[in-house]
Amino acid sequence: MNGSAVRPPRVLHFVTGGFSGATQVAVDLVRAHRASGRFDPLLVLRRKRQTDPARIATLRAEGLEVEVVPGWSHAATIFQLVRQCRRFRPDLLVVHGFSEHLWGRYAGLLARVPVLVHVEHNSRERYSWWRNAQMLWLAKRTQAIVGVSQGVRGALLARGVDPARTLAIPNGVRLEAYADADQHPFAERQPGVVMVARFSRQKDHASLLRALALLRARGLRPPLLLAGGGKRSALLQAERLCRQLGLQDQVRFLGSCSDVPGLLMAHQVCVLSTHYEGMPLALIEGMAAGCAVVASAVTGVEEVIGHQRNGLLVPEADPGALADALQQLLARPDHAAALARQARADAVAHYGLPQMRARYEALFARLLQPAAPAEPKP
């Protein structure tokens, strides 16, 4: 460990500046370190086109130490992150998500950071054979590799990662924001549909819009609110499809929403239509808000939702099945309310931030313990 034993160990979290779910997990962990006092944290973001300076300013105003490194080339990212490591001198470097975990670990090795931790946030990423080879080479030099669900851990093992170094730590959400969910009775909420997700290739807004058009043909016209930023090209594509389907009077594109808890707690149904996930934070937030939830049956989601127990699962990219599920919830509000109650109970019991924070901090503390001296030979 670097420096005096009096100070808490320094932990640097490196993650995309695109403010994805991976970014949220990193931010939550930095907040947790500050609150517990067990670690001295630094958050470093890799700049993206959609990196919002206002959000960075908000984090800094909150008291978090945040730095930004360039993202226009991998070499520039690595070079500047090495500089941050040499300045901050972390005892442990945590690299979040693809492809940041590659460039982050190269920088950590060059800066001779004692302990490296890789956190994989999705079950399906764009691994070419070359990037997979790099990942496996780096994995041998990484003390711990975390999947944010058992499904993500399984995907890592399938790629050849050492099981002895790999574990699962499920994501958690800030439940305090949903403490008033029970003050919003299901029957008094708007019978509308909300999806909170950034616009990207990963998220399947198209299937949800097509499902809404199918419902309209059946005489059902629930309002749909789409909250989230993301890639402008993906947003424009969704807006174009909305016009083509004639849904402009039903669909509202809200952009980045400053009050996601309030939005969810005002509506009955939350949808996550997606092609792949790791551990879906937005879906867990919908559960915590007391919504009836519908989601694509993909890795990560299937660990959270038990079909007809605490929500409904539909096949990936199947607008017809999604329309049927939404119709079931809209036509049977008592059943929808029962699913919503169970979903909220599960979110509170299993997916709070304290559980996630405790697991990560216990892992970091274990990794930073000095190795026990070898037994003398007789």
Sketch the domain layout of the chain as residue ranges. Answer: 10-172+353-368, 175-350
Give the global pTM: 0.84
Q: What is the pLDDT of residue 374?
A: 44
> Same fold for the domain at 10-172+353-368 and the one at 175-350?
yes
What is the model's pLDDT at position 5?
53
Q: What is the pLDDT of residue 202?
A: 93
Distance in angstroms (rounded) separating the CA atoms of residues 292 and 300:
18
Q: What is the pLDDT along the chain (378 residues), one digit of tens a residue?
A: 454 457 899 999 999 998 888 999 999 999 999 999 999 999 999 999 888 899 999 999 999 999 999 999 999 999 999 999 999 999 999 999 999 999 999 999 999 999 999 999 988 888 999 999 999 999 999 999 999 999 999 999 999 999 999 999 999 999 999 999 999 999 999 999 999 999 999 999 999 999 999 999 999 999 999 999 888 999 999 999 999 999 999 999 999 898 999 999 999 999 999 999 999 999 999 999 999 999 999 999 999 999 999 999 999 999 999 999 999 999 999 999 999 999 999 999 999 999 999 999 999 999 999 754 444 444
Q: How far apart are the first and last CA of the chain?
A: 30
The answer to whether 66 and 43 are in contact (CB under 8 A) is yes
- Dihedral pair phi/psi, residue 186, rounded to 5°: -55, -45
Phi/psi class of residue 230: alpha, beta or left (left: φ > 0; alpha: ψ in -120 to 50)?
left
What CA–CA distances, in Å, run from 352 to 105, 120, 177, 247, 377? 29, 19, 11, 36, 48
Give me the sheet containing 115-120, strands edge to edge: 66-69, 40-46, 10-16, 92-96, 115-120, 144-147, 166-168
Given this model, what pLDDT does residue 371 score? 56
As beta bridge partners, residue 307 has 311
Q: Residue 191: CB partners within 8 Å, gap ≥ 6? A: 222, 267, 268, 269, 330, 333
Give the architecture (CATH level 2) of 175-350: 3-Layer(aba) Sandwich (3.40)
95 - beta bridge partners? 14, 118
CA neighbours closer than 13 Å in the CB half-sphere of residue 138 = 25
97, containing H or E segment: none
11, 33 in Cβ contact below 8 A? Answer: yes
Spatial separation of the C-alpha atoms in residues 193 and 270, rounded to whole Å: 6
The CATH-assigned architecture of domain 10-172+353-368 is 3-Layer(aba) Sandwich (3.40)
Buried b / exposed e along 156-178 (16+ C-beta atoms within 10 A):
beeeebeeebbebbbbbbebebb
